[in-house]
Structure 1
Amino acid sequence: MNPLPSLQEATAALRALGDDLGRRGWLPATSGNLSVRLADEPLCFAITRSGADKQNLADADVLQVDASGRVLTETAYRPSAETIVHIHLYETFGAATCGCILHVHTVFNNLASQLHFGAGHVLLADHELLKALGHWNEGARIAVPIVENFADLAHLGEAVRAAARPECPGVLVRNHGIYAWGADAFAAKRHLEAFEFLFEYDIRFRQAQAAFGPDAMR
């Protein structure tokens, strides 16, 4: 396993991620939050501050926090309000699985979470991009969990923790967004890109079925 990054390295990674994901429109209106694990035992990680424009992050917009959410750097800023969700995910999975967490709000992940909320998951099957999520077998399928968008963030954090599964590096929050993670920033971004492609495909496929009829899409 690669060594965990320094705060400086994590800050650079988060600034690059914010710029990339922001340009795609995945972090609108200062929404979303991004983090990178810095250490275990005790846990600490770097996370974007509350209210920051993720597409234009400065070094000061990235804060170091511990497992209680306490800020360890000198700053007047507060960490993301959803820091508790990151804490639960880092504590649930080891660094080899969860070294970076990306939470973004997109139209397609919101639509997918609402459309499939009754089932409790989005079933993704028979897609080439499932390989990007670690599923290489023929006929691969995964179920992306969906949890309610609880206003109580402690409750939301517990719901995401309970729903998270090692075989699926992401959890949807209904009409809110997705938490996707990976061993490092590169892996987390790969997973997020795969999820977003597959959610968009699911929605557009259903739109095509509605327009042209189910037989035309066989």
Structure 2
Amino acid sequence: MTYAFKQEDRIRTVVELVDAAKNFAEKGWFPATSGNLSVKLSGEPLAFAVTASGKDKENLTVHDFLVVDADSKALEPTSLKPSAETLIHAEVYKRVPNAGACLHVHTQYNNLISDLMFERGRVRIQGLELIKALNIWEENAAIEIPIVENWADIPKLAAEIGDVLDPRVPAVLIRNHGITAWGENVFAAKRHLEAFEWMFHNLFLKLTLQGNALAAAAL
């Protein structure tokens, strides 16, 4: 099987991921070496570069990535091991043909919101300006981000993410775990992730203020 990608393109896109990782690490989005990042190198057949398991994302280098296939198996001899969550990245690339980069981070707000809204099965957000960062431009636009259970069985988790994802809304939440967001390239995926995280923070603050207002009204 032939994988058509140039070495210089691989290095360039991985460097973009390294830069994004440093930015996210500064925000505290990679606690305790959690999270993983990938960029697609070839669509047919699928090949992508993904962060190796257990690496400190704050200090990533281009040497902390390995190239894997659609089954998350390394395509080159390496001592690096992909995270089990690499299967989630593969599922996104299979289900969303124009996805070129995939980012998975664990933050307090995406964990809190995913748990608070889990029984609804999704997080609904409407009317926020940052929805436009997802290339959704309708007036008073509404989006719904699916939430799946945090299954320990990663193949089951990946399959469920594939079943619920909406290509128009480039993210899925995993309850009490994190978010997986994607875009056509690293720049777009980063923009989408930052927009989602801002909207989750905003929603949490709104819910907190509403709760405080109700409590005050009951006094």
- The normalised TM-score by structure 1 is 0.93
Q: Work out the CA distance in 1 between the residues paired with 2:71 and 2:163.
A: 19
From 14, 17, 22, give the equivalent of 1:19. 22
- Give distance in 2, aligned partners of 1:71 and 1:168: 29
Work out the CA distance in 1 between the residues paired with 2:90 and 2:167.
Answer: 16
CA-CA distance at 1:55 after TM superposition:
1.1
For structure 1, which segment, 116-125 or 11-20, has the greater mean C-alpha deviation from structure 2 after superposition?
11-20
Query: Shift in Å at residue 60 of structure 1?
Result: 1.8
**Offset at residue 210 of structure 1 (A):** 1.6
User: What 5-or-longer segments of structure 1 have no aligned partner?
Assistant: none
In 1, Cα distance between equivalents of 2:13 and 2:56: 17
SS in structure 2 at match of 1:14: helix
Partner of 2:189: 188
Identity level (%)? 45
Residue by residue over 1:142-179, the C-alpha shift from the partner in whole angstroms, topping out at 9 and shown as x without a partner, is 11000000000000000110111111100000000000
Instruction: Assess, with a 3 A threshold, how the Cα gap between structure 1 residues 92 and 214 changes in structure 2: closer, same or farther.
Output: farther
- Does structure 1 residue 132 correspond to structure 2 residue 119? no
Of 67, 70, 78, the residue aligned with 2:70 is: 67
The 2-side partners of 1:58 and 1:187 are apart by 21
1:142 aligned onto 2:153: no
Q: List aligned pairs for 1:1-218, cutoff 5 A.
A: 6-95=9-98, 98-213=99-214
Three-state SS of the structure 1 residue aligned to 2:155 is helix
Alpha-carbon distance in 2 for matches of 1:59, 1:184: 17
TM-superposition CA deviations, 1:152-207 (whole Å, max 9, x none): 00000001101111111000000000000000001001100110010001110111
What is the CA-CA distance between 1:214 and the residue it aligns to? 9.0
Whether the 8 Å CA contact 1:102–1:192 is kept in 2: the answer is: yes
Counterpart CA distance in 2 for 1:180 and 1:59 is 21
Specify the code of the residue in structure 2 equivalent to 1:45: F
SS in 1 for 2:145: strand
Q: For the Cα contact (< 8 Å) 1:10–1:46, is it kept in 2? A: no
SS in 2 for 1:6: helix
CA distance in structure 1 between the aligned counterparts of 2:208 and 2:71, rounded to whole angstroms? 44
CA RMSD of aligned residues (A): 1.8
Any gaps of 5 or more consecutive residues in structure 2?
none
Aligned residue type for 1:59: V
C-alpha distance in 1 between matches for 2:60 and 2:23: 11
